[in-house]
Amino acid sequence: MTATKTRTGADAASAPTELTMAGALNAALRDAMAEDDRVVVYGEDVGPLGGVFRVTDGLQERFGDERIWDSPLAESGIVGTAIGMAIYGMRPVVEMQFDAFSYPAFEQIVSHVAKMRNRTKGRVSLPLVVRIPCAGAIGGVEHHSDSSESYWASTPGLTVVMPSNPADAYSMLREAIESDDPVIFMEPKSRYWAKAPLALPVTTAPMDRALVVREGSDVTLIGYGPTVRTALEAADAAAEEGLSIEVVDLRSLSPFDDETVSASVRKTSRAAVIHEAAQFGGFGAEVAARVTERNFYHLAAPVLRITGFDIPYPSPKLEEYHLPTADRVLAALETWEWELA
C-alpha cells in the first residue's frame, strides 16, 4: 500500500544514539530540509530560540533565515500563508507552539487546508504540515494542555497523526513532509523528553498504520500519543495478576487503521480506548463505534472509553486527577463482567 522510499539523512547512517522525541523531530526536520529545499519551517520562536520545546534547535543556524524563520505571532496568518506557499510549490512545516493556540488557525485549516484539493478537483494539493504540540501532563497553565485531536480528525481532507515514541516521531514526520496531503502532526508534549536509542534515518511502519506494540490475549488497549505509555504501564501491572493485555498504538487518527484494530479485538474480544481528551464527542467514541460495528459478534463486553473528564483541562495542581492513569485503566477493566467471558 505504501511505497517506502529510501530516506537520506544529512547525518545519515549514524550509529544508534539516545535521542529524545524532541531530538528525533529536530533530526527529521533537519534531514527533510537538507534533502529538499522546498521544505521551509516557520512559526513562533522557532528561529534563534529553537522553539519553546527546542524542536527546531540549531536549524536556523544551519539553514539560514530563508529556510526557517520566526513569523509574526498570529496562527491564522501562519497557516494561511503556508497555504499560499504550498500553492507555489513549497513544502511548509509550520508550528502552532501549543494546541490551544492553534484555534485562531481553525478556519484556515478547516475551510482551506482540508478542502483546497477537492475544491480544485485535484489541481491544487497542499503539501504542508501543521505541527501541534498537544495534550497535557507537563504542569502547564491554562491553554497549554488541550487535546484538540477530535476537531481535526472529524474534518474530511485532513490527515491527522500522533507519534508516541522517538522512532515514530522521526519516521512519521519525514513521511508527513513527503505527503502530498496536508498533515496535522500532533506531538504529545509529555513525550518530548522520552528517550530511545536511534540510528538515523530510521523508517518505521507507514504512518497510516496502527501497530501492535505489545502482544496479549485477553484485552486490547487502544491508545495514541501519550496514552500508549499509559496502556503499556497498565499491561505490565495486569500481567502480574495474570491478565494478558495487547496494546495498539493507533499512530494515525485519520485515516483510521480498522484492519489492525479489528484483528486485535477479534483475538482478545475485549477493547478499551484511552485518551486524555474529554470523553463526550471525543475520538474514543469513534474508536468504540468502529470497533463495535465491525466486531460486534466477537466482543465479550462493551468497548470502554477511559478518558479525561468532561471538564476544561485542569490547572497544574489538579491535572493528575484528570488524566487517565494505568490505575484508572485497570479499575475500568474490572467493571467488565469477566465471568461471562
Binding mask 235-264 for other proteins (x = CB under 8 A): --------------------xx-x------
Interaction residues for other proteins, span 28-67 (CB under 8 A): 40, 66
Residues 6+ apart with CB under 8 A from 34: 8, 9, 10
- Among residues 253, 261, 270, the alpha carbon closest in space to that of 294 is found at 261
CA distances from 37 to 13, 83, 200 (A): 21, 17, 20
* Catalytic hit among 112, 143, 144, 275: 144
Strand partners, 275: 307
Active site residue 112: no
Among 104, 269, 299, 332, interactor with other proteins by CB under 8 A = 104
Binding mask 185-224 for other proteins (x = CB under 8 A): ----------------------------------------
Among 34, 90, 263, 332, interactor with other proteins by CB under 8 A = 90
Least separation, in Å, of the C-beta of 330 and other proteins? 33
Least separation, in Å, of the C-beta of 102 and other proteins? 14
Cα angle 104, 110, 114 (rounded to 5 degrees) comes to: 135
SS3 of residue 287 by DSSP: helix
With beta carbons less than 8 A apart as the criterion, state whether 87 and 62 touch.
Answer: no
Least separation, in Å, of the C-beta of 308 and other proteins? 27
Give the Cα separation of 10 and 41 in Å (integer). 17
Give the Cα separation of 19 and 31 in Å (integer). 15
Least separation, in Å, of the C-beta of 86 and other proteins? 8
Binding interface with other proteins (CB under 8 A): 40, 66, 71-72, 74, 76-77, 79-90, 92, 104, 107-108, 111-112, 116-125, 156-157, 159, 179-181, 255-256, 258
Residues with a catalytic annotation lie at: 144
